[in-house]
Structure 1
């Protein structure tokens, strides 16, 4: 069973600015510094683009986690998608959508779909523990992106 998590933010900055901050692995790491998040790309570039792979390492729930995702869809500045290729989930798909609202404002929508391993136990754990936890992380990240984008734009 999948869980869908969605966080929507309105940001007072141009769509391209918000898009570029969202795909920057250094900004990603900064936004989740509390979990000692790091992000390493296969290309060495900090700005992700179609086909790039990125490996995230972090500490959550007192455990070290490692997950690799690939950018599977990319249409600057409107959306991109990253999908887990290796990691703790049975499946993870993270869609990033950016809508120009006019007047220099952008609606940023993060939609994450996850499926945990371990059948019914994983489904319950996802609903009770993982989905709320991941929603808090996405919200924290969105607040960070908003702050940076509004400083720049």
Structure 2
């Protein structure tokens, strides 16, 4: 969906683990770095390893579209183990907001990522054709790593 406030998309991932396991992995700077090896993403300021907490920030540096980008994100809401929100406080987007939700469905945790972004230029053209698909691939890549880590932490099971 693209509108005046930007583009929003949702990714749903199902994992056979407790919500707490996936929630904690999602707040792990180290797990995030593992998932972003392809872009050589690094945490360069703020919380650079371990678990990030409410009100804390991390500054990421990575290469995307052949350009080196720097973005500082802050955890602006946190309700363990149900949801948290990270938002850009400095960086390349006019808006970047990522809400993470975790719900139990039997033995499975349903993780729902809702990302809203707005590019600084040419949003109506760039966001739906280039930026949204690219960001969706990044979220899917990140989530695949989280699924593997959650399975390992939960005795090898993954949905």
Given that residues 48 and 58 in structure 2 are in contact (C-alpha distance below 8 angstroms), is that contact kept between their aligned partners in structure 1? no
- Tell me, in whole angstroms, the C-alpha distance in 1 between the residues paired with 2:136 and 2:95: 16
Q: Which residue of 2 aligns with 1:48?
A: 52
1:137 aligns with 2:138: yes
Give a deviation string over 1:85-110, Cα, whole Å, max 9, x none. Answer: 0000001100000001122x200011
- Find the counterpart in structure 2 of residue 19 from structure 1: 23
Gaps of 5+ in 2: 155-159
Question: How far apart, CA to CA, are the structure 2 residues paired with 1:47 and 1:85?
Answer: 19
- The correspondence for 2:95, drawn from 91, 97, 101, is 91
Aligned to 1:72: 76
* Deviation per residue, 1:93-150 (Å, 9 max, x gap): 00000001122x20001110001112xx222111110000000000111111011101
> How many residues end up aligned between the 2 structures?
150
Which TM-score applies when normalising by structure 1? 0.93
Q: Give the unaligned 5+ runs of structure 1.
A: none
Secondary structure of the corresponding residue to residue 128 of structure 2: helix
TM-score (norm 2): 0.90
Give me the whole-angstrom Cα distance separating, in 2, the residues matched to 1:40 and 1:19. Answer: 23
Secondary structure at the aligned position of 1:142 is classed as helix
Counterpart for residue 113 of structure 2: 110
